[in-house]
Amino acid sequence: MILVLGGTSTTHQIVAELGNQPLIISVATDYGQREFSARYPGRVLHTRFSAESLAHFITGQDIARIIDTTHPHAREISAIARTVAAQQSIPYEDRIRPVAELAAQPGIITCQSAAEAATYLLGSPHQRILFTTGSNTIPHFAPLATRGYARVLPFEDSIAKCVAAGFERSRIIALQGPFSTDFNLALCREYRIDCLVTKNSGAGSGFDEKREACLELGIEMVVVG
C-alpha cells in the first residue's frame, strides 16, 4: 500500500501515474476531503498526522512507501513523514512542487509569515488590498479588514472565518480557482486593487498568473513564504 500525502494539484498527477496500484490519499483540510473524495471515493483519509499517529497508520495499513505531494508550506507534515519513514525503513519520495525564486524582483515584497505580511501592510499606504492566502491566514489580516478584500473558497467555513476577522460580506470574494492571468487582471481592475497578497505556492498553484497580473498592472505583490 502507498500513502500519498496530498491536497494539491500535484496529488492528481501522482495518482494518475500510479494507476491501479493500491494507495491511500491523506488530506488535512475539509476542502481537500471534499475535492479528493469526489474524485477518488473510498481512497481518501481526512487527518492531520502526528509522528505517533503516522507510525501507527503505517504499521496498521502495511504502508510500503510514502509519496509527499503536500503544499510547499506544509513543512511540519513533510518533516514528520521524512523522519517516520526513515524510522520505519520505508521509502519517502518528495514530490512537492518547487516554489518560485523571488530574490530581488521589483514590485515584490517577501515575508516569512502572514503575521509579518500584516505588519508590513499596516505601515503601507495600500487601501485596496486583495488577500489570496486562504481563509486560515485571514485572522492575521483582521486589522486590515476595512482596507481590502478576501478572496477565499466558496465554502461556509471559509466565509465564516472572514466574517469573524471583521471583513464585511461585501469585501469577501468567494470563488474557486484556478484563475487565469486575464481573470486576475479583470478582478484587480474591477476592485481597483493596489496590492495583492499571496503565498509562494509554486507552479500550477495560480501564483504565476497572479504575478503576471500584478506586473501588468504595476501593483505591489506581497508574498508569504
At the topology level of CATH, where does 108-224 sit? Rossmann fold (3.40.50)
Q: What is the pLDDT of residues 200-212, one digit of tens each?
A: 876 667 888 999 9
pLDDT bucket at 73, cuts 50 / 70 / 90: confident
Per-residue DSSP letter, 171: G
- Residue 202: per-residue pLDDT: 67
pLDDT tens per residue, range 133-188? 999 999 999 999 999 999 999 999 999 999 999 999 999 999 988 899 999 999 99
Helix ranges, the chain (H): 9-18, 30-39, 51-60, 75-88, 114-122, 156-164, 181-190, 207-217
Least confident window among 116-120, 125-129, 203-207: 203-207
Note the pTM of the prediction, 2 decimals: 0.71
* Share of residues in the chain with pLDDT > 70 (%): 96
- What's the whole-number mean pLDDT along residues 116-141? 96
Q: How confident is the model at residue 193 (pLDDT cuts 50, 70, 90)?
A: very high
Residues counted in the chain: 225
CB within 8 Å of 216: residues ≥ 6 apart: 181, 185
User: What is the rounded (10 degree) CA torsion for 123, 125, 127, 131?
Assistant: -50
* Average pLDDT over the chain, rounded to an integer: 92
SS3 content of the chain, % helix, strand, coil (to 5): 45, 20, 35
**Bridging pattern class, strands 195-199 and 129-131:** parallel
User: Do 221 and 196 form a contact (C-beta atoms < 8 A)?
Assistant: yes
Which CATH topology does 2-94 take?
Answer: Rossmann fold (3.40.50)
pLDDT of residue 46: 94
Which grid coordinates are listed for 223?
508574498
DSSP 116-147: HHHHHHHTS---SEEE-S-GGGGGGGGGGGGG
